[in-house]
Amino acid sequence: MVAVTSAHINHISIGAKDLDESVRFYVEVFGAEVIDTPNFGLPVQWLSIGALQLHISVRQTDPPTYNHFAMVVDDFESVYRTTRDWGGHDGETMGYLLGELPSGQVQLYIRDPAGNLVEVNASDARTLSQEIQRELFRLEDHQPQDASNRKAALFLPGGSRDRR
């Protein structure tokens, strides 16, 4: 078997019960852009978010409980407040809503209108307001972390959000 050495993720596909509602959510909360979409014979919309695409199609099945994708945003606090006001925060599935990793990076868990689990990341908890910092579940306070655990990072070296 020969390993593929130059692969990257092109898009993520999720289901929605109401296509318009889900598209509006990703456009308003994350600044996604509606892009041309082929006709598949069922309601589908492709969105552009940064260098990746999000494909949304109408499906009447429930989304997986734990499977998720993660997004990085320029204004974490705005997304936090918008999704809180919308009622999309999910503090149960992963055991916390707003977590700080030993590296200082932050994970916020939300549900989109179709119930898909979305993780929103911030690169440095120290840059967040005191209000939000008080709500952080610090993983290191609840689980032992060795040197390797403390080096684990959401952002790969050389990426635009790398803070190592």
Model confidence pLDDT, tens digit, residues 84-99: 999 999 999 999 999 9
The predicted-structure confidence for 33-74, as pLDDT tens digits, reads as follows 999 999 999 999 999 999 999 999 999 899 999 999 999 999
Give the CATH number of the domain where residue 119 resides.
Answer: 3.30.720.110
- pLDDT averaged over every residue in the chain: 92
Give the CATH number of the domain where residue 20 resides.
Answer: 3.10.180.10
Q: Does 89 lie in the same domain as 36?
A: no
Pull the structure tokens for residue 96.
């916390």
pTM, full prediction? 0.90
HSE of 111, CA atoms in CB hemisphere, 13 A: 17
Provide the residue range defining the domain that includes 20. Answer: 7-61
Residue owning tokens 């993720």 = 9
* Cβ atoms of 25 and 32 closer than 8 Å: no
